[in-house]
Chains A and B, each alone.
Chain A
Amino acid sequence: MDFSGQMVVADLEAGVGTLTRLGDAGVDLVLIVVEPTPKSVEVGCRAAALVADKQLGRAVVVASRIRNDDDLAMVTKAFPDHQVVAIPDDPAIVAADRNGVAPLDSAPDAPAIQALVRLADELVAPGS
């Protein structure tokens, strides 16, 4: 079958367990989602180290629930060698989660969704 032009987006289990079992040609890109807390950043750093050790490919850090410059600085400082994309803390995402609906449908213009749209556009752009 010809799978050209198709993409697979996988949402892995929390932690790094699945990452440790991923084969070396399994993915093109790993998005490491972290919150600006020491626990989350620590786990993200371990994920980034695994991606590098296993040579899984490119890793981009998605800094989620960012409230201010300090939050973002905490993440960027921990990942000096990675592209870090900020997703703002956004009540629209919380509301969508509470209601069990896709935030892209319920709040397409929310700042967090717009930031994700920009990230997706960048990742699928030719040559990225």
Chain B
Amino acid sequence: MCEASIMRVAFVGKGGAGKSAIAGTFARLLARRGQPVLAIDSDPLPGLAFSLGLDRDDAPLPDEAIEDRPEDEEGPRYRLRAGLSAADAVDRYAATAPDGVRFLQFGKIRTDPRTLFRSQITFRQIIKELPEDRWHLVGDLPGGTRQAFTGWGGYAETYLVVVEPMAKSLLSARRLARLALAGDRPVRVLAVANKVSEPGDAELVARRSGLEVVASVPLEPAFADAERSGRAPLDVVPDSGAIGAVSSLVEHLDRQPLRRAPS
């Protein structure tokens, strides 16, 4: 159980905006505060593992964790094996990344996506049934809108839209914000301006996305070089302005937990 309020955040945005690099850094900085963090990767392609500093692993949830749902029972075709709770599944099957971040994924596509169905369906059950107070949740959703608001980000109370100061990225951010706020859950949607290089960029992101900008991550060659090397930016350029901006983001969200709508 965490003493501080639990954060349940999901990073969304247009492909290439820098979600994984920021999400991985965010998760590790949060864990360095001594609190348990679960990083949730629902992208069928590799990304977040690199940014956390983990070796890439395509493995789905193992068969031993999954069973067929009886035909007379309503619900998805597969489910967690009887007696195995969502928390048990994380304890057993999530990888442990640097700084103690736990990392859960449903596996990665090689060629035939059908090979991941069992794991994918069970993964969704796990993230739906996670206990509310055990881990901070940090999710990295695939680029675009398809997953973000079709149940995959259902654990999130805060959506962080990663936005580059580019016309296409700004347009995507507006659409993502609209979709997030159209749901029936109380969520807040905030913007992280990424690859900021000019003085008015953060203001541009705020104005064009219509979102509050809670972090402004500078465009830095050293950070980009870390990405190109395939290593976690936090390990390669820990003193960079970009890492500092993500650290400030962690503190900002910690100071301002989501104010739930009155029930």
Which residues of A are in contact with B by a Cβ distance under 8 Å?
Answer: 13-17, 20, 36-39, 42-43, 46, 49-50, 53, 71, 97-100
Contact = CB atoms under 8 A, between A and B. Distances in A.
A100 B167 contact: yes
B167 A43 contact: no
Contacts of A36: 228
Given A14-B16, A14-B143, A43-B46, A50 B168 contact: no
A95 B116 CA distance: 40
A37 B230 contact: yes
A15 B230 contact: no
B212 interface: no
Contacts of A46: 45, 109-111
Interface of B: 15-16, 20, 43-47, 50, 56, 109-113, 142-144, 146, 165-168, 227-230
Given A14-B143, A39-B46, A99-B167, A50 B111 contact: yes
Contacts of A17: 44, 113
A31 B35 CA distance: 44
16 contacts: A14-B16, A14-B143, A15-B44, A15-B45, A15-B143, A16-B45, A16-B109, A36-B228, A38-B229, A39-B20, A39-B50, A39-B230, A42-B46, A49-B110, A97-B167, A98-B167
A53 B111 contact: yes
Q: Is the interface of B mostly helix, strand, loop or mixed?
A: loop
B167 A14 contact: no
B15 A97 contact: no
B170 to A, nearest CB: 8
A20 B46 contact: no
A42 B56 contact: yes
B168 to A, nearest CB: 7
A17 B43 CA distance: 11
Contacts of B167: 97-100
A41 to B, nearest CB: 9
Most interface-central of A49, A50, A98 (chain B CB within 10 A) = A98
A102 to B, nearest CB: 11
A16 to B, nearest CB: 6
